[in-house]
Amino acid sequence: MDLSREYGELAQLCEGASAADRELDARIARAMFPGLADLHPLEIAVWRHGDGSRIRALRYSADKNAAMTLVPIGHWIEADAGLRGHVWVYGPRGDEAVSANHDLEPLAISAACLRSHARAKARS
């Protein structure tokens, strides 16, 4: 899987989504945690580990706190109260910020963070 491309596509899907979506959450989880591909899927966004325990994708598209877990290490996120739904992710090297916009804040945060991951993967 080309993670840079996958992260970019997921960012676009987040910005284009009309509502929270568990399928989208599952795709984000699989991109962030590629080892999930080795586990048995039980239902959308739920996998069974070899010991029988279950792993659930966070609700990245519905929950601001879950979306914030996508902020890359060493990066930070900012929002402008005057621009509802617009967020920026800044990197530690003074990189130009990546941004996203969505009326649903978790989707805007997820999209911006995924764009930041895409840029980092493209550079590596």
Q: What is the pLDDT of residues 48-90, one digit of tens each?
A: 999 999 999 999 999 999 999 999 999 999 987 777 889 999 9
Residue 30 has pLDDT above 90, yes or no: yes
The CATH number of domain 3-123, selected from 3.40.30.10, 3.40.50.300, 3.30.2120.10, 3.40.640.10: 3.30.2120.10
| Mean pLDDT in residue range 23-49 | 97
Residue owning tokens 């005057």: 82
Cα 112 to Cα 27: distance, rounded to the nearest angstrom: 16
Beta strands in 1-124 (DSSP E): 40-43, 46-48, 54-56, 76-79, 86-90, 98-101
Residue 111 has pLDDT above 90, yes or no: yes
Residue owning tokens 């003074």: 94
Q: What is the pTM of this model?
A: 0.94
